[in-house]
Chains A and B, each alone.
Chain A
């Protein structure tokens, strides 16, 4: 159990780079490691994350004060130790600015709260500019730059030096790679509207037995294990104060 609350923000200023996919893998990871988690989906009013994790996800509008209160004023009051916030496209920088304004970033800097940001990178130069912009808020936070290959994006092929110059501007930033998942497997999980873990376990939304393809489940299991090994590499459970990762079913 975490000694202090942990907030994990997943975001990007660009749409379609896989923020919600990464959020879903995080929720599955915490669930597999017995870390109590709640999630906020800022894709108000629809909410893709809520579709996959309805029991622990609430849809909020992060631009409103009342919803900001709902998230941050309850960090100490509620039992889940980790809060994952899936920030809608274009809202990452404004959201971080809001966090600064309400004193949240100061609290993170002083160690009262654990704060981690998963910044999902797109393939374009705009994403690199985002890094520079976001970096201004990152003092006191664990900052992860996520290269998401799930949609077969080719990263920074044009100029590695450009990427490095941006990357090295941010002290203590760590990069993470989300590998590609077989397209058909990804689509099937979408259609099933269940967490990746349930898909692997061949279960429907209400724990009922399902009949997903063994091949597709195999691809998802293999992919999820690779994603989680990245989370293990950055010692994510330690970061959120939950200790060492447990031996998980998907890796047995």
Chain B
């Protein structure tokens, strides 16, 4: 039986595109599987919840009760893919707790496959945090997201050595378009008849990338 994937989209930095990746991935999984559970862990300003209120719930890792509410669900092998939009405020606490309670080891025991999507930035804090994650997370489970809109082709070499997902930048007017709260990527694919538009291709490229990611996950465990 395939493992239950848990995608954790994270960065110690704000404004690097975590919620954009979480939206894309959530919509892809919803399209592919018909269901997905997304969690918005932005302590200050919930945002994934505003984009995808039907499939998203808020969670926090401030206190033990919040941690139990979240992690006790993430560790269940129920075949339901989960997406976590981990706000930069919660980054340190989440991974500290995760290390302490042995999340990755228990996940492996329970047929749950955590995939950490680390959204890169060019600053020193990002490199340091990535290094910390490398110590904690097996290589196959840690993937760097190279968001061209943020990194602008200057991904630090240390971050480009492992597995990478590249998200190309969109022109500003399209960026503004997809940032609208009512915008849906899958909805756009369904409504837009012209598949040659830049946005159409961009969404399809990213969905294809996520499909590859899922396939790799299955291959890794087989």
Question: Is B83 an interface position by the 8 A CB rule?
Answer: no
Please measure, in the bound complex, the distance between the C-alpha atom of A30 and the C-alpha atom of B66, giving whole angstroms: 34
Q: Indicate if the CB atoms of A215 and B102 lie closer than 8 Å.
A: no
Please measure, in the bound complex, the distance between the C-alpha atom of A214 and the C-alpha atom of B97, giving whole angstroms: 12
Q: Which of A213, A216, A221 neighbours the largest number of chain B CB atoms within 10 Å of its CB?
A: A213
State the total of A-B contacts with C-beta under 8 angstroms: 36
Please measure, in the bound complex, the distance between the C-alpha atom of A206 and the C-alpha atom of B72, giving whole angstroms: 24
Please measure, in the bound complex, the distance between the C-alpha atom of A214 and the C-alpha atom of B75, giving whole angstroms: 8
Q: Which residues of A contact B103 (CB under 8 A)?
A: 218
User: Which of chain B's residues 81-116 have a Cβ closer than 8 Å to chain A?
Assistant: 97, 100-103, 106
Q: Indicate if the CB atoms of A184 and B100 lie closer than 8 Å.
A: no
With CB as the reference atom, state the residue of chain A lying closest to B66: A215
Question: Is A185 an interface position by the 8 A CB rule?
Answer: yes
Q: Indicate if the CB atoms of B64 and A214 lie closer than 8 Å.
A: no
Contact bitstring A183-210, B, C-beta under 8 A = 1, else 0: 1110000000000000000000000000
User: Which of chain A's residues 215-232 have a Cβ closer than 8 Å to chain B?
Assistant: 215-219, 221-222
Question: Is B141 an interface position by the 8 A CB rule?
Answer: no
Name the distance in Å between B100's Cβ and chain A's nearest Cβ. 5
Task: Give the bracket for the number of chain B residues in contact with chain A.
Answer: 10 to 19
Q: Which of B72, B75, B101 neighbours the largest number of chain A CB atoms within 10 Å of its CB?
A: B101
Task: Give the bracket for the number of chain A residues in contact with chain B.
Answer: 10 to 19
User: Which of chain B's residues 24-49 have a Cβ closer than 8 Å to chain A?
Assistant: none
Q: Which residues of B contact A183 (CB under 8 A)?
A: 64
- Tell which of B68, B75, B106 touches A216, judged by Cβ atoms closer than 8 Å: B68
Q: Which residues of B contact A218 (CB under 8 A)?
A: 100-103, 106
Please measure, in the bound complex, the distance between the C-alpha atom of A216 and the C-alpha atom of B67, giving whole angstroms: 9
Q: Which residues of B contact A215 (CB under 8 A)?
A: 64, 67-68, 71-72, 97, 101
Given known pairs A219-B101, A221-B102, A222-B101, the reply for A214 and B65 (CB within 8 Å) is no
Q: Which residues of B contact A182 (CB under 8 A)?
A: 64
Chain A binding surface SS class: helix
Name the distance in Å between A212's Cβ and chain B's nearest Cβ. 10
Q: Which residues of B contact A216 (CB under 8 A)?
A: 64, 68
Q: Indicate if the CB atoms of B72 and A222 lie closer than 8 Å.
A: no
Q: Which residues of B contact A219 (CB under 8 A)?
A: 64, 100-101
Name the distance in Å between A179's Cβ and chain B's nearest Cβ. 12
Given known pairs A214-B71, A214-B75, the reply for A185 and B102 (CB within 8 Å) is no
Given known pairs A214-B72, A215-B72, A219-B100, the reply for A185 and B106 (CB within 8 Å) is no
Contact bitstring B50-75, A, C-beta under 8 A = 1, else 0: 00000000000000110110011001
Q: Indicate if the CB atoms of A213 and B100 lie closer than 8 Å.
A: no
Besides A213-B68, A216-B64, A221-B101, 18 more A-B contacts (Cβ < 8 Å) are A184-B64, A184-B68, A185-B64, A214-B71, A214-B72, A214-B101, A215-B64, A215-B68, A215-B71, A215-B72, A215-B101, A216-B68, A218-B102, A218-B106, A219-B100, A219-B101, A221-B102, A222-B100
Chain B residues in the interface with A (C-beta under 8 A): 64-65, 67-68, 71-72, 75, 97, 100-103, 106
Chain A residues in the interface with B (C-beta under 8 A): 182-185, 213-219, 221-222
**22 A-B pairs with C-beta separation under 8 A:** A182-B64, A184-B64, A184-B68, A213-B68, A214-B72, A214-B75, A214-B101, A214-B106, A215-B64, A215-B72, A215-B97, A215-B101, A216-B64, A216-B68, A217-B101, A218-B100, A218-B101, A218-B102, A219-B64, A219-B100, A222-B101, A222-B102
